[in-house]
Chains A and B, each alone.
Chain A
């Protein structure tokens, strides 16, 4: 079974600074997707960014970018110019292209605190 590990339960960063959230995963599949979701106190999960495993180029969405290291099975999220609205729980998630359950496998999450 696939597993996703987020080793940082909580991270704190000063507003306007850069922060990196870590994620590692374990899979025997070669074709899959990785995601970062944000969950603010409203509970609604919001997709931040996603990466296709067969694409070598790291995905970027405005201030959010990833460092995808397929051989190392690592998928970190970098948030540049942190803003107060970035404060939330961040979840790393995995989904493979094969059959089976077809749900997302999530890590335990990282609570991101933005210091004004």
Chain B
């Protein structure tokens, strides 16, 4: 597609349920990033992928969070046993390569609400 897409656009779930958030990067972009945007914490970097590999998972908020990327393309961020503090907008971005000078292109985000 022309840009980064994310689905669903909005997700409402009950506390304790698992959710999956999807990101489709720009075709040909090898690097992919996940960020979380919340009122309390602002924009936080969560994890990045170079190809299908995520070398550093230390930015994930807890062990309830996991992410994977398959085929060097689509990525899924999974939150298990959701808590109310997980409510936020989850943004995905991709770039041509991992180098720091490459522009990151962002998707429209998924707004997650945990009741």
Interface residues of A (CB under 8 A from B): 32-33, 37, 42-47, 50, 52, 91, 95-97, 100-109
How many whole Å from A47's CB to the nearest CB in chain B? 6
| CB atoms of A42 and B108 under 8 A apart | yes
Give bound CA distance, A98 to B26, whole Å. 24
Output the residue of B33, B45, B93, B100 with the most chain A CB within 10 A. Answer: B100
Interface residues of B (CB under 8 A from A): 31, 33, 35, 42-43, 45-46, 48, 56, 58-59, 89, 91, 93, 98, 100-101, 103-109, 111
Q: How many A-B residue pairs have CB under 8 A?
A: 58
Residues of A within 8 A of B101 (CB): 33, 52, 97
| CB atoms of B45 and A103 under 8 A apart | yes
| CB atoms of B100 and A33 under 8 A apart | yes
Cβ 8 A contact of A109, one of B42, B59, B111: B42
Assess A103 versus B35: contact at CB under 8 Å? Given A43-B109, A44-B107, A47-B103.
yes
Residues of B within 8 A of A42 (CB): 108
| CB atoms of A44 and B35 under 8 A apart | no
Cβ 8 A contact of A101, one of B48, B103, B105: B48
| CB atoms of B48 and A44 under 8 A apart | no
Residues of B within 8 A of A97 (CB): 100-101
Assess A44 versus B100: contact at CB under 8 Å? Given A100-B56, A103-B59, A106-B43.
no
| CB atoms of B59 and A101 under 8 A apart | yes
Give bound CA distance, A46 to B104, whole Å. 9
Output the residue of A37, A44, A50, A95 with the most chain B CB within 10 A. Answer: A44
How many whole Å from A61's CB to the nearest CB in chain B? 13
Give bound CA distance, A89 to B81, whole Å. 32
Output the residue of A33, A43, A108 with the most chain B CB within 10 A. Answer: A43
| CB atoms of A102 and B104 under 8 A apart | no
Residues of B within 8 A of A102 (CB): 31, 33, 48, 56, 98, 100
| CB atoms of A101 and B109 under 8 A apart | no
